[in-house]
Amino acid sequence: MKLRTLVWRELFERKSQMFTCFLAIVLGITTVVAIKNVTFYSEKAVAREMDSLGANVLVLPKSVTLQDYYSADMHEEVIPEEYVMRLTMSSIQGVDNLSPKLCVPVELQGKNFTLTGILPKEEFRAKAAWGGVGIFARPVQGCGTIDVGGEPKPEDNKTLVRKRVIETLDTHEALVGADVAAALGTKEDDSLTLLGEPFSIVAVLPQTGTIDDSRIFAHLHTVQRLSGKDAVVSCIEIVGCCEEISAGLVDNVNKLLPDAKVVTVKQVVATQQNVNHMMGRLSVIFLVIIVVVGGAGIANYMYANVFERRREIGTLMALGAESGLVLRIFLLKALLLGLVGGITGFVIGTTLAVTLGPKLAGVPVLPMPVLALWAVGISAGITLLASYFPARRAARLDPCATFQEV
Amino acid sequence: MSRREPTHAIIMAIVLLGPLMAVPGHVMAQAVQGRTVSSGTSKGLAAIDAGARDGKYTFLFFWKENDQSAQSMYQVFQSAMSKWSDSTYSIGIQLTDANEKPVVDKFGVSRAPMPLVLALAPNGAVTKGLPIKFDENQLRQAFVSSCTAKCLKAIQDRKLVLLCVQSRRTQFNDAAWKGARDFKADARFAGATEIVPLNPDDPTEAAFLKDLQVDPRTPQAVTVLLAPPGQPIAKFVGAVSKDQIVGKVASAQSGPCANGQCGPGGCGPKK
């Protein structure tokens, strides 16, 4: 009888116990793979957010709490729009790039979207130079907003999602997010009716993987009028330049606008970072559980198997099978369990992460092939380790002793 | 004020008596100092026109509601204006006054924090914007030197400013001036560049030079490149060529931190 046949037959002895062990391995690997996968992309999103928005500051109504920078303006509370000019006309350094926003829900073709009113920079740019002679004394730190005049380029609108600030926007022009454009089948230069008035789509924004993809951007004052709101905004985004400036900026803005809440991106992503750390710790705990519970289960299953089948093992050895063959039979069985369990756990875990990750963590999640190696390695390692001692015991059985029991 | 008209005297009387009585809304709206000229029905625009023509500063007091804050600030405003009546025109403008819509729109202050004072130099530059709360000292800071006003005007018009600090005793005047002229003659920058000459020996410009960190006793001509919203982005001591200035403008536009794109790690080189 060939080794392969022996292993295959051995595998299906005590099927229910084998299935239970297999399930334990699969569930453990599934959980660890899913957590690792989501955590990796969540950390990546946080790092990207910190890299591109790290110096930014948000001015919000006092009562607002938020966990996601991109949805900072998605709430019912408002602050006066005059805060924009208070900031612009102040002597505070680092408030050259402001982006006030107001969000209202809109329904288009039976689908719900967010209409975001934004104020183009041209409407308040000149007021930054109303500070008088003192503006020339601002230190040049190599990272200020250098505006050398000239007409904005047409493609500048598309940089809104990256730069967070728009230079110009007419009262009935709109920019649509990638998801909105796909859902409505619209493209540039098309017309769109929002809250009863026609808008011309001047740009379809590139995909960002954030909530901005499902937004429609229009002029703040038009959105205020159409939604029946006064001169209010949901939030003011201050596009910071350097972290050093942002550090002092928060205190200064707090002093200037005591009735508003001023938060930095660091504060916003702190919750997300805590969740990521917690997920990381959770995956370690699951790993320990797999090692202890799964390993103990497999060891127990193998020991029981060896004990129950000692007569067959003894017969096999009496027929000429060497200890090495017996050892290989049990170890190969364990290896097969580990490989199949690891691969199955990776497939299920990755599927869960890719489908549920965006909903749970709010970030797009892609499969990570490197986790397959990791899953198979862990799974096979545990099964081999747990099976080694029972297999060695089987290999050391004395055929005579086993026959005496008959 | 030598050419003050009879109506002006009446208005002055209202202004001077203002602090002695409560300040009702219609008074704030109507109190105009200085002579007015016809500029449609907007008294605000008329005051600005008069200021430009007579070489005086114009102070505009914008208000929305006749509340405690507006009244108390208006008293501060009027008290200061009465002291400087020889060199200023001033007017109170209610945002909701239909006649004043042109001036409200001109400065885009319909959604500004109120009350708001805007000080305008004779050349039309806003030399100070003071929202909500201010004192006489802050109002006084609105008076700036001639060169400062020119630079502010250009900056507010989104122009680059080449401030040429030169006098008879400074060296390389011609070379520095030629560099500035050549830069302005370049088609790429012609429409958006203003050359402002400044005499470092002029004591009225000392504060401006101090802000720009330029030594008034400089032995060589200094050319300062200012960009909106008011940052000095380059300073050239001695001779300067057009290419040098273009190079500084280009690096300011495309530098690692141009347009505020640098990240939390500061302004280091980024991809």
The structural domains of chain B, with segments of one domain joined by +, span: 6-140, 146-256
Burial category of B253 from C-beta neighbours within 10 Å (exposed 0-12, middle 13-18, buried 19 and up): middle
Residues A229 and A374 in one domain: no
* Residue B80: predicted pLDDT: 92
CB contact under 8 A, B259 and A97: yes
* Residue B25: predicted pLDDT: 47
Is the per-residue pLDDT at B106 higher than 80? yes
pLDDT digits over B190-206, tens only?
Answer: 888 999 999 999 999 99
Band of pLDDT at residue A276, cut at 50, 70 and 90: confident
Burial category of A52 from C-beta neighbours within 10 Å (exposed 0-12, middle 13-18, buried 19 and up): middle
Residues A90 and A210 in one domain: yes
Is the per-residue pLDDT at A1 higher than 80? no
End of a domain among A239, A260, A292?
A: A239
* Residue B77: predicted pLDDT: 93
User: Which of the residue ranges A191-205, A279-293, A348-362, B1-15 would you say has the lowest mean pLDDT?
Assistant: B1-15
Distance CA A139, CA B139 (A): 24
Residues A19 and A109 in one domain: no
Mean pLDDT over each residue of chain B, to the nearest integer: 80
Integer CA distances (angstroms), A366 to A34, A277, A360, A369, A374, in order:
11, 20, 14, 10, 16
Residue of chain A whose alpha carbon sits nearest to that of B228: A147
pLDDT digits over B122-162, tens only?
Answer: 999 999 999 999 999 999 989 999 999 999 999 888 889 99
Mean pLDDT over each residue of chain A, to the nearest integer: 81
* Residue A247: predicted pLDDT: 60
Residues A302 and A182 in one domain: no
CB contact under 8 A, A51 and B208: no
Token readout for A236 is: 């003011």
Residues A41 and A81 in one domain: no
Residues A162 and A233 in one domain: yes
Residue of chain B whose alpha carbon sits nearest to that of A126: B156
Provide the greatest CA pair distance for chain B: 68
Chain B residues whose CB is inside 8 A of the A89 CB are 129, 131
Minimal CA separation from A176 to chain B, in Å = 23
Residue A387 in any domain: the answer is yes
As for the ipTM of the complex, it is 0.75
| C-beta neighbour count of B144 within 10 angstroms | 23
Q: What is the CATH number of domain B146-256?
A: 3.40.30.10
Burial category of B98 from C-beta neighbours within 10 Å (exposed 0-12, middle 13-18, buried 19 and up): exposed
pLDDT digits over A2-15, tens only?
Answer: 767 777 777 777 77
Residue A255 in any domain: the answer is no
Residue A155 in any domain: the answer is yes
- Which residues 228-247 of chain B have a CB within 8 Å of chain A? 228-233
Q: Please give the residue range of the domain that contains residue A159.
A: 57-133+146-239
Q: Bigger pLDDT: B33 or B255?
A: B255
- Which residues 109-168 of chain B have a CB within 8 Å of chain A? 109, 111-114, 118-119, 126-129, 131-132, 141-142, 144-145, 148, 151-152, 155-156, 158-160
Residues A112 and A211 in one domain: yes
Q: Bigger pLDDT: B39 or A160?
A: A160
Is the per-residue pLDDT at A17 higher than 60? yes
Least CB-CB distance to A81: which of B109, B111, B141?
Answer: B111
Q: Bigger pLDDT: A145 or B81?
A: B81
User: Which of the residue ranges A35-39, A248-252, A376-380 would you say has the lowest mean pLDDT?
Assistant: A248-252
Residues A71 and A197 in one domain: yes
* Residue A94: predicted pLDDT: 74
CB contact under 8 A, A135 and B230: yes
> Which of A53, A122, A147, A168 best tests the B interface by mutation, with the highest count of B CBs <10 A?
A147
Residue A356 in any domain: the answer is yes
Q: What is the number of domains present in chain A?
A: 2
CB contact under 8 A, A129 and B227: no
- Which candidate, B202, B200, B261, B253, places its Cα nearest to that of B231? B253
CB contact under 8 A, A129 and B126: yes
Least CB-CB distance to A89: which of B129, B207, B264?
Answer: B129
Distance CA A219, CA A5 (A): 74
Fold for domain B6-140? Glutaredoxin (3.40.30)
Minimal CA separation from B205 to chain A, in Å = 11
Note whether B6-140 and B146-256 share their fold: yes
CB pairs under 8 A between A and B: 165
Residue of chain A whose alpha carbon sits nearest to that of B208: A133
Least CB-CB distance to A148: which of B112, B131, B160?
Answer: B160
pLDDT digits over A208-219, tens only?
Answer: 777 788 899 999
* Contact partners, residue A231, CB within 8 Å, separation at least 6: A80, A81, A82, A224, B111
Minimal CA separation from A392 to chain B, in Å = 57
Evaluate whether B193 touches B184 at the Cβ level (below 8 Å).
yes
